[in-house]
Amino acid sequence: MNQEFLGFLSRLSLLAKSANETNSILHRVFRMELVFWVAVILLALLVARSRARWFRRIEQSFLRIARHRHRAVLGVFLGALLLRAALLVFLPIPVPAVHDEFSYILQGETFAAGRLTNPVHPMAIFFETFHVNMWPTYQSMYPPAQGLVLALGILLFGHPWWGVWLSMAIMCAVVCWMLQAYMPPHWALLGAVFCVLRFDIFSYWINAYLGGAVAAAAGAVLLGTWPRLRRNPCIPYGLLFGFALIVLANSRPWEGLVCSVPCTIAALAWLFRERRRFSLIFRKAVVPVVVVLILGAAFMLYYNWRGTGNPLEMPYIADQMRYHITKPFIWEKRNPIPHYDHPAMRRVYVYWELPSYLMLRYPQGRLELFYQRCLTYYEFYFWPAVLLLIPGFLIACRSRRLRLLPITALMVILGVFVEIYPPFAQYAAPALACFIAVMLVGFRAMRAWSIRGRRIGLAMSRAFILLLAVWFAVRTGEQLIDPYHFTYEEGAPRQEIQRASIVSRLDRLPGKQLVIVHMSPSFGDYRDWVYNKPDIDASHIVWARDMGPANRSLLQYFHDRTVWWVDQSDGMMALRPYTPADSQ
């Protein structure tokens, strides 16, 4: 107990010191952007002096391609698919490393097997793990959208990553389609190309299983459907509008909600203004939306009922009530510390969740949370174009046609800033298309900038694209050299590689295998290896927690398996045959 208390105090002191460090990193990244813009200005001076015929030829070719809207969307989709597939030689299919990934993969494998959930295992206590419900049924705690995408990859190509691959290409294509509704087609295509190069190569959205693309695509569909539905009320657009709302609710429920509020309010206001066409709009737009929402809500209630036994209780809520100390939002009071059957689980929730909650009670902790969010979303979405956001935001807010985009972006940013958990970029995914659109508006304003009749903005825009292309190439090259550089934080690759190595070794052995994972109570890493397939008994490899003398019941149940032992906390993480002494 003394070790646990010391560990808790150590984590608390680290959090207390981290605000200044995060602030320093944020300022350093912002200084790097200023350096980037200085380089843009210097390069623009050189570009302005050159005739730049090749620039004009490239831009004219780009205009011809973008003019064919449907072909442009299809080209973005195929380009995103082929580009990442071509890099598989250097960037192979990623191995899951963190809790959320294993949980999503369990969900995808469950759906691919034709089930919504799995029955409780008799030895469930040995398989308890993070973000997975073992009771009242065995399933992932997450909403089903990402799991359905992974299931599609399993059914079509035999591996869940191919679902990620498809969803990223769909996201990029849908972003292009959405932008076409708000700006000229060549600007929409430029934003889609940026989306492909920024997110489809080196971001963790494509190199992990944590999601992001599904919610981003749903947000783009919603925002792209709205202006088309207003211009041409019809059943297909009504179905798309409702479908986007359902996908948002089943991918990022909270962020999807705040993303959909501005668009929904605008749609309702339009409906009541159009009194002369009310009957037509109601029949061709409102009815399809309502039908899709009813069907989607029925599925969600049924999914909840199958998973938790209560149609109104999401699996996420069931997991929160059983394991979590803190609640999702900063204004909520925490739960009492529950009883944990395994030190590994208690350590994560007590050492990593509770200190964050306690720090938020003090100004320094709130400042740390603010810096973390600014750094996470700035680096992932905006760098090095955050300086374009200010003019883009102001111009878009003054435009009646574009006003919905900055409002939606601001709503989502506010929504993620009131969450208590450490930030991840996929939280703000529903607003991805809005972020790109606002930056494009700022970029268009910069391109039109002139001084004394000289189009300095044209040269700056060309210099910006050149330097951005160089940055994309450098980032891609860095990941080709080190595939883990942008995917996980320090320490994760060793954990995932060792587990994958054990899986590879055991897969080559005949017969079924059981791996008992021991973890020292003082072990400081929060990663975990105890994740299993949906059908545990039929799995070639079963991962179980070490429970000391209680292991006898586990060994008796899996008497027909070869039993192995691994100490995840000893540094070597070496696999060896299990002996009775290991249960002492």
Give the model confidence (pLDDT) of 200-247 as tens digits: 988 889 999 998 999 999 999 999 999 999 999 999 999 999 999 999
| Pick from 202, 118, 211: nearest CA to 426 | 211
Rounded-to-integer distance, Cα 547 and Cα 125, Å: 9
Q: Are 206 and 216 in contact (CB under 8 A)?
A: no
Cα 84 to Cα 165: distance, rounded to the nearest angstrom: 8
106 in Cβ contact with 141 (< 8 Å): no
More confident residue, 176 or 521: 176
pLDDT for 1? 46
Q: How far apart are CA 194 and CA 177, in angstroms?
A: 14
Q: How far apart are CA 515 and CA 502, in angstroms?
A: 10
Can you list the alpha helix ranges (DSSP code H) found in 250-329? 253-273, 278-281, 287-308, 315-323
pLDDT digits (tens, 9 = 90+) for 471-521: 888 877 777 776 665 444 444 456 778 888 899 999 999 999 999 998 876
Q: How would you list the strands of the sheet with 562-567, edge to edge?
A: 541-545, 513-518, 562-567, 575-577
Is the Cβ–Cβ distance between 237 and 285 less than 8 Å? Answer: yes
Beta pairing partners, 140 = 132
Q: Give the residue-averaged pLDDT of 71-95.
A: 92
Q: pTM to 2 decimals?
A: 0.91
> Distance between CA atoms of 514 and 508, rounded to whole angstroms?
14
CA 442 distance to own-chain centroid: 26
Please tell me the distance from the alpha carbon of residue 456 to that of residue 460, in angstroms, as a whole number: 6
Beta bridge partners of 174: none
Rounded distance between C-alpha atoms, residue 354 and residue 348, angstroms: 9
The domain segmentation of the chain, as residue ranges, is 2-92+143-273+362-481, 324-361, 492-583
Mean pLDDT, the chain, rounded, equals 88
